[in-house]
Amino acid sequence: MLNISHNKLNQKVSLSKFRSAQKVFHQRHYKHFNRFLLAFAGVAVVVLFLPWTQNVTGKGFLTTLTPDQRPQTIQSPIPGRIEKWYVREGDYVKKGDTILFISEIKNEYFDPNLVARTGQQIKAKSSAVSSYEGKVKALQNQIGALGNERALKLQQAKNKLLQSKLKVKSDSIDLQAAKTNIKIAETQYDRTLQLQSEGLKAVTDVEEKRLKLQETQAKLISQENKLLTAKNEVINAEVEINRVQAAYTDKISKAQSDRFTAESNQYDSEAQVTKLENAYTNYEMRNSLYYIRAPQNGYINKALQGGLGETFKEGDALVGIMPADYDMAVETYVEPLDLPLIHKGEKVRIQFDGWPAIVFSGWPNVSYGTYAGEVVAVETFISENGKYRVLLAPDKEDHPWPKDIRVGSGANTIALLENVPIWYELWRQLNGFPANYYQPENSKVAKADKK
């Protein structure tokens, strides 16, 4: 009621005589409540000074420690058509076991005897290479024979040139002798003619000397002709040398050209043989690719291409396989703000989905049902979900992880940092501050050693 009246009822009427008022207005219950508040405040103050382990939480899933142990798909490097399946989903296969058989869909590989016919082509081309090798050797022998013949012909022509030069020299000497003889004959004729004019010689003697002079003149002219003929033979011998040189150069050049052509054909045939051998090897390997085999021991998860007669392209996934032997790991994600607090080798507590656990994130010693992990890799580039990926391996110093966990199931992780009072952690959380910058002891020791 509002105290707006001048007649105050509580001053005129005593409520103490009523039983309900006696139970409500006694002072004893304040004493117990105050004691409770005092005890609660004391406990709260003590709790505020208890140690609290700062931590970085994350959510991830189970994976394998190495990439080759993770679930994978098997692809075909060539396009084809499914002809026969040798396994069913869930079957265990060993490395090299046949999973399915495929056939060709490209018309250039339809021939079932393609490998054998390619081998016949290789043999034919190899025979052609041998033939060209023989032709090259024959032409080489021909070039050598032409070179020897040219040397002999040139020597013969040079000898003839030398003979012609010697003949020129001999004819020159004979010409000088003829000139001397004609001078003697002219002198004798003039002397006989003078003596005949003085009456000392007969006319017959003059005529005899004149005849001898004419014979000497004829011999001189003949000797000059011989000398010119000899000089002409020298010129002819020099021309013959040039002709022999030119003729055999042409023959040898033609033989060399034929040899080069044969060598070119030989190299071309060798290149074709190499190309055919490459194609032969490719065809053999392609035939082996018709059988899709298991890359490692594992279990067939799911057939991604089903049925018979279904075609696919090269690189298309055909079947999924899970390796049989693998080392478990946890792939978790942390916020970018917490990434500097995560270091390789740190200990992390893990709670697996489906495994009951009582978790006290700030008091790891009283947590129950969590398992220990160790940071083995920290990704340096942000993932698509806006967080950084951290890979955890089992901690060998702690109890082993459950055997029944499977790759792909969820996991919650708690990375333990520094120990701080609870009041500080509450103050940090209320203000939105990050956890204390944490450096593990082993990294501090390593830095000290470097200094």
Looking at residue 119, which CATH number applies to its domain? 1.10.287.620
330 and 422: one domain? yes
Give the pLDDT score at 388: 92
Give the pLDDT score at 99: 93
Of 298, 323, 348, which one is at a domain's C-terminal end? Answer: 323
If one counts the domains in the chain, the total is 3
Give the pLDDT score at 450: 42
Asked, for residue 26, whether it belongs to a domain, the answer is: no
Give the domain CATH number at 76. 2.40.50.100
Give the pLDDT score at 392: 93
Give the pLDDT score at 111: 86
Q: How many CA atoms lie within 13 A of 364 on its CB side?
A: 20
Range of the domain at 349: 52-69+326-444
Asked, for residue 8, whether it belongs to a domain, the answer is: no
129 and 273: one domain? yes
Asked, for residue 29, whether it belongs to a domain, the answer is: no
Angle, CA of 322, 325 and 327, to the nearest 5°: 100
406 and 393: one domain? yes
Cβ-based neighbours of 236, under 8 Å, separated by 6 or more: 164
188 and 275: one domain? yes
Asked, for residue 424, whether it belongs to a domain, the answer is: yes
Of 274, 306, 323, which one is at a domain's C-terminal end? Answer: 323
Give the pLDDT score at 319: 93
Give the pLDDT score at 445: 38
What residues of the chain score a pLDDT lower than 50? Answer: 1, 444-451
Length of the chain: 451
Of 263, 298, 323, which one is at a domain's C-terminal end? Answer: 323
